[in-house]
Structure 1
Amino acid sequence: MKKITSVIVLAMSMVTLDTVKAQSPQKVRQQNPYTLVYEGAVTKNEKGKVNIHPVKYKLNGIVIAAHVYTPANYNDNSKFPAIVVAHPNGGIKEQTAGLYAQRLAEAGYITIAADAAYQGASGGEPRHTDKPANRVEDIHGMADYITRYPGVDTNSLGVLGICGGGGYTLKAAQSDKRFKAVATLSMFNSGEVRRNGFQNSQVATIQERLQKATDAREQEAAGGKIIYAGVASITDEEIAKTSTDLYREGYEYYYRTHTHPNSTFLYTMSSMLDLMTWDATTNMDLINQPLLMMAGSKADTKYMTDEAFSKATNAKSKELFVIDGATHIQSYWKPEYVGQAVNKLLQFYKVNL
């Protein structure tokens, strides 16, 4: 069995993967029977209300854990439009992806939010492998599953990608024409950031980091330790000293206010070989579906949405919706910003589905 070590970028220390699992899942389960960590989450299934259905299915031999949300008037003899929701980097279905899936279900859509393969409650080894091809395939896989779910109108399928899930959604929609309407929220171009650094802050070290990823893969292939990049844990002081809104508020969200034992900022160092040579905005001209891209006016990630939006030259229609006052992470949970995003999504899906 391969041994595991982690390279923690912020704390500059070595930890084992067990550190990520230090928080007891029991604490989360006590708060919600489905371990949902967002405000207003479903706590039990009742007739005449939105219901949640934990499901599992196989995708390329890997067991995927997902939640299907059905609307209050659901019955499997009718036909409902459906939405696939792709979660952020480091996120899982119990966090903001679940919040948006539930809010859309409250408006009459059948929705699905699944943990990415190798992450969360889904299977796959090594854990926290984070390759773009896998994340894109996860979105195709959610479409496979939900279009066969009782009561789904297969001709009325939309998709919503949040953060990293937004970048992967753009890529999935380029080829998967089952998606009749494509939306993103706080889109994050994982390849661009892993390659150039956030806000292009690491362009000078691209080759050095590619070499580290190469060395990590070579070590794995030889049966050695799996090296992890990212952040496994963080102190309040370190959070306070983080200069960018994205990462400071992200640490607060994932490690303080909306923490979940299945969520982590770790990813295998060898995944960088794939991440650093990938870009969400290549072939954007292949998107011919209606496109809605949403980002906060104060989001320090908005430049990625702007770049991708400008390249969507063949979209049937396209709109850039700016959420006034919101940062990237605030669009995940803050009621006034979530409300704006959901209302816009409902307008968009009503017209295009």
Structure 2
Amino acid sequence: MRNTFLKASFMAAMASIGAGEAGAADYRKNPFTLAYDGAITQNEPGKVNIHPVTYKLNGLDIAANVYIPANYDPKQAYPTVVVAHPNGGVKEQVAGLYAQRLAEQGYITITADAAYQGASAGQPRSTDKPAYRIEDIHGMADFISQYAGVDRKRLGLLGICGGGGYSLAAAQTDKRFKSVATISMFNSGRVRRNGYNDSQLNSVQQRLQQASEARAQEAAGAAVLYSGDANLSDEQIAKLPFELYRQGYEYYWKTHAHPNSTFKYTTSSLLDLMRFDATDQIALIGQPLLMIAGSEADSLYMTEDAFAKASGAHDKELFIIEGATHIETYWVPKYVDAAIGKLSAFYGKTL
């Protein structure tokens, strides 16, 4: 079943990208299907290497990539960072970019596809429940803590976009993480509940009713309903009301597309998403906290809100990358360099 799904996803993505049309970071030209500029193309002695791995989490096969630093010696003890990917993203996109760049700074890193998403197992596909995404982060910590060379006492966490919101939730109680950082944090519960920039406050009950009906339909064995996925034309994308979505379609569907990446999620997931909030109990985060966002990001309000509420993190910093939008922190070299520079200093001090 899993292989059938992946093959179907691959063929659908190939069709959507178009025959002969390559993105700026073409996964088809990379042996590890990595979709970011500067990605590893082969493992070489003395350089950063990538190792695809699979492990079990609650009975499901989880697909992950482990990055090891140059001149890695399994008998040594390395600081390590768990990287959680954005909503709709997979380990081969921005999460892989930051995992590789941190490995270049001397860290062992891991990034895994969320359960029910990407190359990881789980049915129905594209289920997106907060409890599962938080458990994914705990699961990455479980696995990488047993990996040769990992210093368990120096384990950090990095969450990007939706993975940032779930990282805030995971770090509240998982004190194996000695420090936590986010990039362009996206509070999935708030957005699914209230709409982006709180633009759908008047339709909360209507959308909850739709989610309830979708759950009932699944329980009856009928077709699984999905939200959030659309094959939009360039003209339709240009008319989207928020820059995050306009640039997001460009990133995920064109320049950095990957066959396992999709915007869609099961409509029934909204039953869980709409009662979740990344800032619930955020005062439990006592670890050092770094939150990074672009000055031009229309999602900045979520980072600012969470940062203000993180009252238990006495060693905390909000770092603004001037000129960057939400999606531009995923791939624009000068903005990625700025984020990596800050992350390297942060983890160097806290791990």
Q: TM-score normalised by the shorter chain: which range applies?
A: over 0.9
The question of 1:83 aligning with 2:73 is answered: no
Secondary structure at the counterpart of residue 24 of structure 1: helix
Q: Is the 8 A contact 1:73 1:108 kept in 2?
A: no
What are the Cα deviations for residues 38-85 of structure 1, in whole angstroms up to 9, with x where unaligned?
000000000000000000000000100000000002110000000000
Which one of 137, 140, 143 corresponds to residue 142 of structure 1? 140
**CA-atom RMSD in angstroms:** 1.6
Code of the aligned partner of 2:14: S
Aligned equivalent of 2:4: none
Aligned equivalent of 1:165: 163
- TM-score (norm. length: structure 1): 0.93
What are the Cα deviations for residues 214-267 of structure 1, in whole angstroms up to 9, with x where unaligned?
000001001111000012422111111122110000000000100000000000
Which one of 63, 66, 78 corresponds to residue 65 of structure 1? 63
C-alpha spacing 1:207/1:30, structure 2 compared with 1 (3 Å): closer
Query: Post-superposition shift, 1:29?
Result: 5.3
Q: Is the 8 A contact 2:226 2:265 kept in 1?
A: yes
Aligned equivalent of 1:206: 204
Code of the aligned partner of 1:283: Q
- Rounded to whole Å, the distance in 2 between the matches of 1:164 and 1:30 is 26
What are the Cα deviations for residues 96-143 of structure 1, in whole angstroms up to 9, with x where unaligned?
000000000000000001000000000000000000000000000000
Aligned equivalent of 1:339: 337
Aligned equivalent of 2:123: 125
- Rounded to whole Å, the distance in 2 between the matches of 1:290 and 1:271 is 31
- Percent identity of the aligned residues? 64
Aligned equivalent of 1:12: none
Pairs aligned (count): 338
What are the Cα deviations for residues 142-173 of structure 1, in whole angstroms up to 9, with x where unaligned?
00001100000000000000000000000000
- Rounded to whole Å, the distance in 2 between the matches of 1:316 and 1:156 is 19
- Rounded to whole Å, the distance in 2 between the matches of 1:100 and 1:45 is 18
Unaligned 5+ residue runs, structure 2? Answer: 2-6
Secondary structure at the counterpart of residue 22 of structure 1: helix
The question of 1:258 aligning with 2:256 is answered: yes
Which one of 174, 184, 188 corresponds to residue 176 of structure 1? 174
- Rounded to whole Å, the distance in 2 between the matches of 1:271 and 1:337 is 33
C-alpha spacing 1:39/1:186, structure 2 compared with 1 (3 Å): same
Code of the aligned partner of 1:345: L
- Rounded to whole Å, the distance in 2 between the matches of 1:190 and 1:21 is 29
Aligned equivalent of 2:225: 227
Q: Is the 8 A contact 1:19 1:232 kept in 2?
A: no
Query: Post-superposition shift, 1:210?
Result: 0.2
Aligned equivalent of 2:12: 22
Aligned equivalent of 1:296: 294
C-alpha spacing 1:272/1:178, structure 2 compared with 1 (3 Å): same
Code of the aligned partner of 1:83: V
Query: Post-superposition shift, 1:316?
Result: 3.7
Aligned equivalent of 2:280: 282
Q: Is the 8 A contact 1:250 1:329 kept in 2?
A: yes
Deviating more after overlay: 227-236 vs 175-184: 227-236
Describe how 1:86-101 pairs up with structure 2 within 5 A.
86-101=84-99
Secondary structure at the counterpart of residue 23 of structure 1: helix
Secondary structure at the counterpart of residue 303 of structure 1: helix
Q: Is the 8 A contact 1:196 1:203 kept in 2?
A: yes
- TM-score (norm. length: structure 2): 0.94
Q: Is the 8 A contact 1:182 1:289 kept in 2?
A: yes
Code of the aligned partner of 1:22: A
Q: Is the 8 A contact 2:279 2:309 kept in 1?
A: yes
C-alpha spacing 1:150/1:191, structure 2 compared with 1 (3 Å): same
Secondary structure at the counterpart of residue 75 of structure 1: coil
- Rounded to whole Å, the distance in 2 between the matches of 1:207 and 1:319 is 36
C-alpha spacing 1:75/1:20, structure 2 compared with 1 (3 Å): closer
